[in-house]
Amino acid sequence: MTEDTDGAPAVGATVHDTARDRVGRVMGHVGMYVQLRPLAGGLEWDADPNHLRPLTPAELLSALVAEANTRSRRHR
């Protein structure tokens, strides 16, 4: 996982929020929280950086395929 200078995941990184059991893309940092957005879009949520972990290559691939499937269903 690419990190900022303070150890938080960098904007654009894809992480797993273990507290909510959700995958999201880092959109920014506000105070002590990291703002995440679902890969397929939607509302951001605030996450504690201590509850974030990088995705394994298999998890990232699975998440990206799920995102593509969601996009394809929206355009029908």
**3-state DSSP percent of the chain in helix, strand and coil, to 5:** 30, 35, 40
Average pLDDT over residues 65-76: 83
pLDDT of residue 10: 94
Distance CA 27, CA 24 (A): 9
Model pLDDT for residues 7-55, shown as the tens digit of each residue:
789 999 999 999 999 999 999 999 999 999 998 889 999 999 999 999 9
Judge whether 66 and 55 are in contact, CB under 8 Å: no
Name the nearest CA neighbour of 41 among 59, 18, 68, 19. 68
Output 47 or 71, whichever has higher pLDDT.
47
Where are the alpha helices (H) located in 1-76, listed in sequence order? Answer: 57-74
**Domain boundaries defined on the chain:** 14-74
